[in-house]
Amino acid sequence: MLAITAPRQPLLLAASLVLAGAIALTIHVAMLAAGIPFPLSQPPAWARWLNLSLAIGAVFVVLRLAGPDFARRGFQARTLIVFALLLTIRETARAGIMSGVVTTGWAYSAIGLIEPVAKVLIQSVLCVAAVRWVRGGVSLVVVALATAALCMGGQALAGMALAPLMEQFASFARPAQYVFPYPFHVTLAAYLTMLEPVIGATLVLALVWQRLPGTKIARLLTAALLVALLKGIVGVTFVFSFFMKQPPLEGMLSYSQFLFEFLALGFLAALAWDAFGPAVKAQTRAPSSLS
């Protein structure tokens, strides 16, 4: 088992992670400023299932790479860690805060967090329960597809159960008061709340970095892809783009502002982690448990 020490340079690590989040968000902002529109699509159920399967597959990879220390934790502890990881990397609180900032409808924005939090909790429980059946590449695909189907069913039930609550508070909803380009206070809030997915990406790195095989650049690219997959933006970019008013290539370009944002976040956070994060007290890295 690998022994992990405290970060070698914690202040530089924290500053670098914050900078990684700022650079990642700036990619998204710059693409919007360049005229690339915000994406809107209406994908069918099978497309949403495929996208969720990709994200769940990424969760399985994280769980299998997390190492024996993580595996020895109880089911509840592992579920809470996955829940925190998904909640943060998917910008759950950030979405509610930014909705409140843009619409000034803080009450409705806060109540609107209940459903996404419940959906992430359902996914976390099912992922931690199902990962035991993942033994390799083929089983990962099969179990991810099956778990995604169960997740969609559970999340649909949660949505129906919460619908009366949302209807009761519908009068608190407010239309957007600001549009892009946003005034300073909205932009400031956007950058400050970017700390949430930065925390999520950091948690991913804390779990898997020491067990990622390959060269340094391979580990950096793997971390970037994992962060984007966990966010759920990879399938969205390449599948949901076929269900937009624009042609598919234009839709992919529209979604790519978020894909590039989270690929950059994962890559830059991994670069910071490699430079300033915990040292590994071992001569070699542990091999991947998915081989």
Q: Is residue 214 part of a domain?
A: yes
Closest C-alpha to 169, from 118, 120, 106: 106
In tens, the pLDDT along 81-112 reads 999 999 999 999 999 999 999 999 999 999 99
Tell me the C-alpha to C-alpha distance, in Å, between residue 191 and each of 93, 182, 197, 255. Answer: 14, 12, 11, 20
With beta carbons less than 8 A apart as the criterion, state whether 144 and 56 touch: yes
pLDDT at 2 over 90: no
Does the pLDDT at position 267 exceed 50? Answer: yes
The span from the CA of 194 to the CA of 24, in Å, is 9
**Inside any domain, residue 287:** no
- The domain total for the chain is 1
**Residue type at position 235:** G
Question: 285 lies in a domain?
Answer: no
Helix axes 195-208, 216-231, angle to 10 degrees: 130
Within-domain flag for 2: no
**Mean local confidence (pLDDT), 41-64:** 96
pLDDT of amino acid 218: 95
Q: Is residue 182 part of a domain?
A: yes
Identify the CA nearest to 13 among candidates 271, 208, 280: 271
Give the Cα separation of 144 and 149 in Å (integer). 9
- Predicted local distance difference test score (pLDDT) of residue 241: 94
Is the residue at 175 inside a domain? yes
pLDDT average, residue stretch 75-84: 96
pLDDT band at 5 (very low <50, low <70, confident <90, very high): low
- Domain residue limits at 38: 14-279
Per-residue confidence (pLDDT) for residue 282, from 0 to 100: 52
Residue 279: per-residue pLDDT: 78
8 in a structural domain: no
The pLDDT value given to residue 186: 96
8: confidence class by pLDDT, cuts 50, 70, 90: confident
**Helix H segments across the chain?**
10-33, 45-65, 68-71, 75-89, 92-103, 106-111, 114-130, 137-168, 184-193, 195-208, 216-231, 233-239, 248-276
Considering the domain boundaries, does residue 30 fall inside one? yes
Q: What percent of the chain has pLDDT over 70?
A: 94
SS3 103: helix
**Amino acid identity, position 32:** L
**pLDDT tier at 76, thresholds 50, 70, 90:** very high
Q: Reply yes or no on whether the pLDDT at 139 is more than 60.
A: yes
Mean pLDDT of 130-134: 95
Q: Which residue has the higher pLDDT, 170 or 184?
A: 184
Residues sharing a CB contact under 8 Å with residue 33, sequence separation 6 or more, in sequence order: 180, 181
pLDDT higher than threshold 50 for residue 280: yes
Cα Rg of the chain, angstroms: 19
Residue 42 has pLDDT above 50, yes or no: yes
Mean pLDDT value of segment 125-149: 96
Q: What is residue 4's predicted lDDT score, i.e. its pLDDT?
A: 53
Q: Widest CA span of the chain, in angstroms?
A: 61
Q: What is the pLDDT of residue 290?
A: 54
**pTM for the structure as a whole:** 0.91
**3-state DSSP assignment of residue 7:** strand
Report whether pLDDT(284) > 60. no
